[in-house]
Amino acid sequence: MQVRFGTFILDMARRRLLQGDDERHLSPKAFELLRLLLENRPRALSKEEIHQRLWPSVFVSEATLSSLVAEVRSALGENAQTAGFVRTVHRFGYAFEGEAADAASPAHRPGDRARCWIIWEYGQVALPDGEHLIGRDGDVAVWLESPTISRHHAKIRISDAHATIEDLASKNGTFLHGSRLAAPAPLADGDEIRLGSITVTFRKAGASGSTVTKAST
């Protein structure tokens, strides 16, 4: 999914913020904050709600959130003193301000068509052919925020209709069918994968390329 606002596009599947042909850098957590504000527009989110969504079960200071907001504003070319897309709701929290709409995804090469998906409580990521890292570092394809997730936790490899998953010596392990992985293992549609304390579902697109719908929670 992509959302267009002003001269920007937030590409949620590829985790990129684009302004024209230029990519605006955001740390993984700042990306999640901008996505959270966009997905809940025009509703204002309290600081408490933002903390619960971005740092579940982890204590962080209010200054940490302020720093994150400043990072998002900087990427959007604004600051606290100028009117922009990120609005401060005094003594409450923050909201997205302005018009935003779904944008058509850019054309991909045939080999880039999403064949598989990783789905979890807070989102889903399309995976075309290739290798895809899972973890909480800034260079991963599937970013999961939890202290139980290693920076590079696991890797999914997709080739044609075949997919495998491999644990990358993570501290808390990668589990498939209830067993901790010690070697690469094949993935089938509907498999549940536990990475640390987070469970995700692996789905394959149908032969017709139909969209995978996330089950309601």
Q: Report pTM.
A: 0.53
Q: CA distances (Å), 181 to each of 135, 146, 185, 194, in order?
A: 16, 20, 7, 10
| Pair type for strands 162-167 and 192-195 | unpaired
* Least confident segment among 58-67, 105-114, 143-152, 194-203: 105-114
Residue 111 has pLDDT above 50, yes or no: no
Residue 60 has pLDDT above 90, yes or no: no
Phi first, then psi, for residue 43 (nearest 5°) are -65, 135
Mean pLDDT of 56-69: 87
Contact 141, 125 (CB under 8 A): yes
The percentage of residues in the chain with a pLDDT greater than 90, rounded to a whole number, is: 46
Residue 5 tokens read as: 């606002």
Partners of 179 in beta bridges: 176
